[in-house]
């Protein structure tokens, strides 16, 4: 029975947290944004955080100061752990408080922790008693069935979202490799041009007075050398064009998950491919305005 209550609280507060995030984003963006990490209408971090508060801090619900301090500590730890774990698993930083004072790694900051502590006190004193009555009104067999159904849907949602993020990471990695190869080709072409120019200048300086003799003796070899150089340059240009085309294909192949996450987490950063992710985000914004 206790496990059933915990699961029910998780989904109730996860859904309530999603509603709060959507409402906040609507006021800020003037449009609907699915602010959840998942596709469904739930923010698991709210379900875990508020669920932990109403369960673990029940003994202190009549001691406002202790309840507030404990809430601040608990929700701060849960938010930090969630942000840190998601960063390490998916190599993305989903929210960033780095510009806020007294933050820890950008995952949490004092101001939001204090606000969430106050919110938790309100939840414990006003919201949770109503939530308890609501769960009691639902017949146990029906509530259990709903919980099992929600768990299945949540598991599928997590799998789909995780697969989408992994695809995004692979796409970013492929684009990063292409960008590096393009840079190497540009460097080689630039170095080749530089070496040819310097070689020509040096030979002209040394052989200015023997120009006709040199051209007569080595002209055929020089032409062959230039032909080989031109073939190499042509191959490099073809490879560069192929890479550019592949890069554009990867940049244009955005998935539903990547588009939704870019909207939901505008401050999301990739640990390994920050510049490429920012470029993809800019491309998405341009496509929206066209």
Q: What is the pLDDT of residues 91-103, one digit of tens each?
A: 777 788 988 999 9
Per residue in 87-138, pLDDT tens?
888 777 778 898 899 999 999 999 999 999 999 999 999 999 999 998 999 9
Among 32-36, 42-46, 72-76, 101-105, the least confident range: 32-36
Instruction: Please tell me the predicted confidence (pLDDT) of residue 2.
Output: 81
Instruction: Please tell me the predicted confidence (pLDDT) of residue 275.
Output: 65
Among 28-32, 180-184, 196-200, 232-236, the least confident range: 196-200
Q: Could you give the 3-state DSSP secondary structure of residue 29? A: helix
Banded model confidence at residue 177, pLDDT cuts 50, 70, 90: confident
Per residue in 239-287, pLDDT tens?
666 766 665 665 666 555 556 565 656 666 666 656 666 666 666 666 5
**What is d(CA 267, CA 94) in angstroms, rounded to the nearest whole number?**
7
Q: How far apart, in Å, are the Cα atoms of 130 and each of 12, 60, 117, 122, 181?
A: 12, 18, 19, 12, 60
Instruction: Please tell me the predicted confidence (pLDDT) of residue 198.
Output: 55
Q: How far apart, in Å, are the Cα atoms of 100 and each of 46, 86, 105, 111, 266?
A: 21, 20, 11, 8, 16
- Sequence-separated (6 or more) residues with CB below 8 Å from residue 176: 272, 273, 276
**What is d(CA 127, CA 114) in angstroms, rounded to the nearest whole number?**
19
Banded model confidence at residue 79, pLDDT cuts 50, 70, 90: very high
When pLDDT is averaged across residues 221-236 and rounded to a whole number, the result is 55
Structure tokens given for 146: 């709903």
> Residue 249, Cβ neighbours under 10 Å: how many?
11
Mean pLDDT computed over every residue of the chain: 77
263 touches 34 (CB < 8 A): yes
Share of the chain above pLDDT 70, in %: 58
**What is d(CA 159, CA 153) in angstroms, rounded to the nearest whole number?**
10
Angle formed by the axes of helices 110-122 and 44-56, nearest 10°? 60
Instruction: Please tell me the predicted confidence (pLDDT) of residue 73.
Output: 96
Instruction: Please tell me the predicted confidence (pLDDT) of residue 224.
Output: 47
């Amino acid at each position: 029975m206790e496990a059933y209550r915990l699961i029910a609280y998780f989904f109730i507060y996860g859904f309530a947290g999603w509603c709060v995030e959507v409402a906040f984003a609507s006021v800020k963006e003037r449009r609907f944004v699915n602010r959840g990490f998942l596709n469904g209408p739930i923010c698991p971090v709210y379900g875990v955080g508020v669920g932990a508060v109403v369960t673990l801090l029940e003994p202190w619900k009549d001691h406002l100061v202790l309840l507030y301090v404990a809430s601040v500590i608990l929700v701060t730890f849960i938010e930090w752990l969630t942000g840190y774990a998601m960063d390490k698993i998916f190599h993305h930083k989903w929210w960033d408080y780095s510009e806020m004072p007294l933050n820890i790694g950008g995952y949490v900051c004092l101001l939001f922790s204090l606000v969430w502590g106050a919110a938790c006190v309100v939840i414990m004193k006003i919201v949770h008693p109503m939530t308890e009555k609501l769960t009691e009104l639902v017949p146990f067999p029906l509530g259990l069935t709903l919980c099992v159904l929600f768990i299945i849907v949540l598991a599928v949602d997590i799998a789909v979202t995780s697969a989408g993020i992994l695809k995004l990471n692979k796409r970013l990695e492929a684009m990063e490799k292409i960008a590096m190869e393009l840079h190497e080709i540009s460097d080689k072409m630039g170095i080749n041009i530089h070496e040819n120019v310097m070689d020509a200048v040096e030979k002209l300086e040394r052989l200015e007075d023997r120009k006709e003799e040199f051209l007569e003796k080595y002209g055929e070899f020089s032409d062959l050398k230039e032909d080989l150089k031109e073939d190499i340059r042509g191959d490099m240009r073809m490879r560069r064009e192929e890479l550019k085309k592949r890069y554009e294909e990867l940049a244009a192949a955005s998935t539903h998950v990547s588009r939704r996450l870019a909207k939901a987490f505008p401050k999301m950063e990739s640990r390994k491919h920050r510049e490429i992710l920012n470029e993809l985000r800019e491309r998405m914004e341009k496509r929206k305005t066209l």
